[in-house]
Amino acid sequence: MPSDQVEQRLEQLGENLKAAYDKLGKLELARVRAADEATRIKYDSDIEQTGKDIKALEQEYNTTEGLSSSKKLYDALLRLDYFEQARIFRQFSDRSKVAAFLIHGEPQCGQRWLLNRLARKFTLTASKTFKIDLTSRVHGASISKVWRQLGGFFGANQNASPNVIAECVRTSWKTQPVVMIFNNVDQMPEDYLREFVGEFWCPLVKDLHNSPSLPSDHPLLMFLVDNGGDVDAWDITFAVAVDDKWCLDVPVKLPGVRKFTAEILAQWIQYETEALPTPLINDPSQAAADILVNSEDGIPEEVLAYICAKCNFNWYEGESKWCSL
């Protein structure tokens, strides 16, 4: 299949998958609200068929993606730095399927790229992926707007309390993975974020830490994304390393994201000879220096854009596909 047809088919499959996930979520919510057993049985049949449709679409998507001309570049970029963040995330997520994470650092240091890198394996099959940009929701306003949107997404009444919303999230989690993403938490007042963690996340996971078994086999993950570099200095309790004292109600603060160095870039270029063009791999040290000059001294988002340009690929088009969260 020609490259342009592969890309078109991937785009269509992605749209079909999104529609199928949305349909599954609506069917499950309708089943919960069904008034009688006969209606619930009908919804069970529809839910089962939609699940089969999703599985078939996912298989075709994965097969088609392997043919994509941009796949090698994407896979190579996923191996560029962020090793410490990925290591800590893996340690905590292997320890428990339930966890909250803070992604933070200076502006344009790839917070969104890292979020998608960490969460992608969970969100491909998750029909319950909640996303909210807090820039417009809480700046100078009440946190009640966040409660209303979060509660509405999970089927709670408009003025439901955080405890009720937490129970609705738990209900969804019993049948499917749940991933919640709160972008630009640095735009919240510090007290709002403290209140949010204390009144929502803590009740949500309060009795799970010492439980011999979880009420669900699926992951329950929350990501707090700080794009301005402010939250690190706030007086909020975070865990930074796995130990026996860690409790699920304490969010994990991943290492802060930072600029790429010449050493990191040169080492990466040396190992990615299959994905990168000859002008980059001929002299990794010189290529790394050139990238730094053209990326404001290693700002990650500028680096990714420049590397893509050197590979005759438009980063901004790729970003819309690779960074869906």
What pTM value is reported for the model?
0.79
Residues 6+ apart with CB under 8 A from 133: 183, 184
Q: Taking Cα atoms as reference points, which of 288, 264, 228, 265 lies closest to residue 108?
A: 228
Q: How many CB atoms lie within 10 A of CB 158?
A: 8
Mean pLDDT score, 278-283:
94
**CB crowding 234-270: b at 16 or more within 10 Å, else e:** bebebbeeeeeebebbbbbbbbbbbbbebebbbebbe
What sign for the dihedral angle of Cα 218, 124, 71, 60?
Answer: positive
- Cross-strand bridge partners of residue 207: none
Residue with tokens 């619930």: 40
Q: Domain residue spans in the chain?
A: 3-65, 83-253, 259-322
Do 23 and 47 form a contact (C-beta atoms < 8 A)?
no
User: Tens digits of per-residue pLDDT, 215-242?
Assistant: 778 899 999 999 999 999 999 999 998 8
C-alpha 64/C-alpha 62 separation (Å) is 6
Q: Which two tokens stand for residue 103?
A: 């992604």
Reduced to 3 states (helix: H, G, I; strand: E, B; else coil), residue 143 is coil
- What rounded mean pLDDT belongs to the chain? 89
C-alpha 180/C-alpha 169 separation (Å) is 10
User: Tens digits of per-residue pLDDT, 141-170?
Assistant: 678 888 999 999 999 988 899 999 999 999
Instruction: Specify the higher pLDDT residue, 295 or 158.
Output: 295
Q: Taking Cα atoms as reference points, which of 88, 119, 87, 106 lies closest to residue 252?
A: 88
Mean pLDDT score, 279-294:
96
Residues 6+ apart with CB under 8 A from 118: 85, 86, 89, 101, 103, 223
pLDDT level of residue 130 (50, 70, 90 thresholds)? very high
Q: Which fold has domain 83-253?
A: Rossmann fold (3.40.50)
DSSP H or E stretch at residue 103: strand 98-104
The residue type found at 248 is L
pLDDT of the residue at 109: 96
Instruction: Specify the higher pLDDT residue, 35 or 163.
Output: 163
Backbone φ and ψ of 183, nearest 5°: -90, 145
Do 225 and 232 form a contact (C-beta atoms < 8 A)?
no
- The Cα-based distances of 218 to 112, 171, 214, 306 in angstroms read 23, 12, 9, 38
